[in-house]
A and B are shown apart, each in its own frame.
Chain A
Amino acid sequence: MIPGEITLGHYLALSGLLFLVGLTGVLLRRSLLIVMMSLELLLNAANLALVAASRFKGIPDPQVAVFFVITVAAAEVAVGLAILVAIFRLKKTTSAEDFAALKF
């Protein structure tokens, strides 16, 4: 049906495209919740590249790195959402445009 075997390059390309989509979300969206979901997408793109590399080299070490990335991402989401809730209490909004107090 589709010619050619799946190579490491295919996985890296998919990872790069996913990273790009996530980066678009981080740069263009204004809702902080969506920005944080896009951040998750960025981390997942990196995870995909690591797992493909693990398969390619036949070593489990990159998968351990993915394990740590997932852990750090979970901690990041928890702290980020807590900050979001605290900020929402203060300003009653989750749009990034309303949080310009630290803007230089």
Chain B
Amino acid sequence: MEQIFFWSLAAGILAASIAMVTLRNPVTNAVCLVVALVLQAALFVTLGATFLAAVQVIVYAGAVMVLFLFVIMLLDVKAEARRPIPWPKVGAVVLGAVAVVLGIPRLVAAFPSAREPLRWSGQAVSFGAKDLGMLLFSSYAPLFLATGVLLLVATIGVVVLCRRDPSS
């Protein structure tokens, strides 16, 4: 059961993300990204991170993607024109892919405990909103406040950046 979930979700996420990177119509790209993010939220649920799954759907698949689609519509972005494939870059990416595919099993082999199965049930642990909230407002409280400042600064920055020059 767990395996079926993992493999189907992994295949779906990879397919959606590859489609996102390769397809040319911006709206299709955005929809592919939404699919990948929602599937990843499902993967978070299987890992016991229920609160993060909810946050992932609300913030990424909701807010961030609406922002993307809004900008696509606002700018009226057309599908990217075809251009010659940059073979040196593609070669570099393929080399990187080979390195990752060869490297990860070695990396995992270096930590024998990483081969133990992550059990769905049994001694499995699940962290919900309460556990994260307790941590967030105790040990990570300064970071949490900093995040608030960051969001405020980002909001003000966006308003300033997008404001039309009143003198012109």
Residues of A within 8 A of B (CB): 1-2, 4-14, 16-25, 27-31, 33-34, 36-38, 40-41, 44, 47-48, 51-52, 54-56, 58, 60-61, 63-64, 66-68, 70-79, 81-86, 88, 94-95
Contact = CB atoms under 8 A, between A and B. Distances in A.
A82 B157 contact: yes
Interface of B: 2-4, 6-7, 10, 13-14, 17-18, 20-21, 26, 29-30, 33, 36-37, 40, 43-44, 47-49, 51-52, 55-56, 59-60, 63-64, 67-68, 71-72, 74-75, 77, 80, 83, 86, 89-90, 92-93, 96-97, 100-101, 103-105, 107-108, 114-119, 124-125, 127, 131-132, 135-136, 140, 143, 147, 150-151, 154-155, 157-158, 161-162
A5 B36 contact: no
- What's the dominant secondary structure at chain A's contact region? helix
A22 B17 contact: yes
- What's the dominant secondary structure at chain B's contact region? helix
A76 B67 CA distance: 12
A67 B43 contact: no
